[in-house]
Amino acid sequence: MSTQRAEPLWLSLSDQVESELSRLPAGAPAPSEHELAARFGVNRLTARAAMQELERRGVVRRYQGRGTVVARKVEYRIGPDWIPSWTRTVAAAGVEPRTVTEDAATRRARNDERAELDLGGHDRVVQLDRLRLCDEECAGYQTSVLPAARVPGLRDVVGVGGSVYEVLTEHYGFAPGRVWTRVEQISAPGWVARRLGMRGRPAVVLVRGRLDCQRTGAPLELTFAWLRADMFDVIVEVGEWKRLPAPIPVRKADAS
C-alpha cells in the first residue's frame, strides 16, 4: 500500500485477481466491481480499471446487468496441415457451436469478385451470410461468395446451418483443390460490429480464403470471416517457404 509504488494500483489489482480467477473454470462468476472495491479498499473506478484490463487480456467477459464471468479463448488453428472446421474447432474446446444463415441471395458480381472468381461481365454470384455463435453468443460473422452458374440452386440446398463445404463435395461433386488463406487482426468496420451485436469497433481477426476446384483449378468460393478477437486465439502456421531469398542482395546490418 504505502510502499513506493512502481506499479499503479489497478495493475497490481488486476494481476492478483487474474491469478485468483485462473483456478476457476470458464463461466464462473468473477467478483463484482463493488465487491472488489470494498475488499481492496479502493474506489469503484479503480476496481473497474483492473477488470477492464483483464477483459483486454481475454481473462474475463463482462455483461452489463449480468456481471463478469471467467472466459477462455477458443484456440483456432489454421495451417497447411489442417482444414479448419469452425464447428468442430469450437466443439472441441467444450463450447457449443451454432450457425445461423442470415441471408442467401444471388446478385451481380462486383469487379474484384469477377477478377478473383474468373467471371465474365454479366455473371452472377451467390452470397451466403452466416452468423457463428458460441454458447448462443455472437462470436463471428462469415460471408461466402460463389459463382452462381457453378452452384445452381445453392440457396435451396444449403439449409439453416448447412455446410458449404459439404454441399460442394456431396451435392455438386466438386473435389476441392488448393485453399489459400490470409489472416490479420483489425478493428471491425461498423457494419461488421453491428452484425456481431457489438458497439464501437471491437478487435476482430479477419480470415480471408479462396477455394479452387481440384480438377479444373477454377475458383469455387471466396470467404471472409470476422472472428471476435476476445473469443478466439487464432494461431496461424506457415509451411515451407517457396521462394528463398538470394543471399547476395541482403545488405549489411540487416535482419535474418
Partner DNA sequence: CCCTTCAGCTTGACTAGACAAGTTAGCTCA
Partner DNA sequence: TGAGCTAACTTGTCTAGTCAAGCTGAAGGG
Judged by CB under 7 A, the residue of 42, 133, 138, 179 near DNA is 42
The reply to whether 247 sits near a second copy by the rule CB under 8 A is yes
Q: Could you give the C-alpha distances from 94 to 73, 100, 131, 141, 216, in angstroms and in order? A: 11, 19, 19, 20, 39
* Nearer CB in complex with a second copy: 108/166: 166
End-to-end CA distance of the chain: 46
Binding mask 46-65 for DNA (x = CB under 7 A): x-xx-xx---------xxxx
235 binds, among a second copy, DNA, none (CB under 5 to 8 A by kind): a second copy
Task: Find all residues with CB under 8 Å of 110, minimum gap 6, and list them.
Answer: none
**Count of residues in contact with DNA, rule CB under 7 A:** 28
Give the cell for residue 91.
466443439
Is residue 164 classed exposed, middle or buried when 0-12, 13-18 and 19+ CB atoms within 10 A define those classes?
A: buried
What is the CB-side half-sphere exposure of residue 17 using CA atoms within 13 A? 31
The residue with cell 487482426 is 185
* Backbone phi and psi for residue 111, each to the nearest 5 degrees, phi listed first: -60, -50
239 binds, among a second copy, DNA, none (CB under 5 to 8 A by kind): a second copy
Residues making contact with a second copy (CB under 8 A): 7-8, 11, 53, 56-58, 78-83, 85-88, 99, 132, 144, 161-166, 168-170, 176, 178-187, 199-201, 203, 205, 211, 221, 223, 229, 233-245, 247, 250-256
Q: Which residues lie near DNA (CB under 7 A)?
A: 5, 8-11, 30, 32-35, 41-46, 48-49, 51-52, 62-68, 199
